[in-house]
Amino acid sequence: MSSGIEVSRDSGVVAAAFARPDKKNAITSSMYEALIDVFERAEADPSIGAVLLSGKGGAFTAGNDVADFLAIATGSANSRNVRDFPGWRFISKLAEFEKPLVAAVQGTAIGIGTTLCFHCDLVYAAPDARFQMPFVDLGLVPEAGSSLLALQRFGRAKAAEFLLLGEAFDAATAHMLGLVNEVAPQERLHEHAMQKAQELAAKPRSALLTARKLMRGDTAALKQRMAEEIDAFSAALATVDARRAFQAFLSGKR
């Protein structure tokens, strides 16, 4: 819990919850490190068949902690190379993870809170879930392969609304567009998502993993796009526009 990630295990499922509710579960570097550790342990443990991601305190996650971005942009972090940032390593792990991923989304799901859902096999959302990818508003560019995956999932017109205009969309819209499998009552959301994750974990493991791999297909294009995104993201972080946007966000002027 000290990392801001709450981890539990139940019937072949590792549940990792963003647990920083006072900041709407904004993800810090230490939280990314904890998530990477969860994924690596789940991969190595033959008793684990799925991972469930959720958030505490009525929110999924407000995305990356903007203070970390500002530290990188101003050079006050250990490195200005985004490839050294734990968030990038977590995104890479999302694309490479071999076991099923399930998400239970309620409330705020901003930035990585939305883009990680593209990598999940099953996503369940409460009626109050609100998805948004406001990268351009912060002087940044899309990440986690979303510049490719959003077009594939939504089509160009809707992808432009969400990635260029940065417009938010609700759970019903996410369900209609195929990002969310089902909208579940908030009081049953986590239980429902956990049940589905346990159903996956109980399937014949080899068949499940092979079927998932076949469904995902060749990931070379995705990994190439993610590499292009991170280079563009690094360049964007160095701009005056991005620094001003981060400072405005942190000062509450936005």
Q: How many domains does the chain have?
A: 1
The residue range of the domain holding 203 is 5-250
Determine the Cα–Cα distance for residues 178 and 90; give it in Å rounded to an integer.
Answer: 24
pLDDT averaged over 10-residue windows placed end to end, the chain, 254 residues: 86 97 94 96 97 98 83 58 80 95 98 98 98 94 97 97 98 98 98 98 98 96 95 87 75 56
According to the model, what pLDDT value does residue 234 have?
A: 86
Give the domain CATH number at 108. 3.90.226.10
Give the Cα-Cα-Cα angle 28, 61, 111 (nearest 5 degrees): 85
Determine the Cα–Cα distance for residues 223 and 148; give it in Å rounded to an integer.
Answer: 10
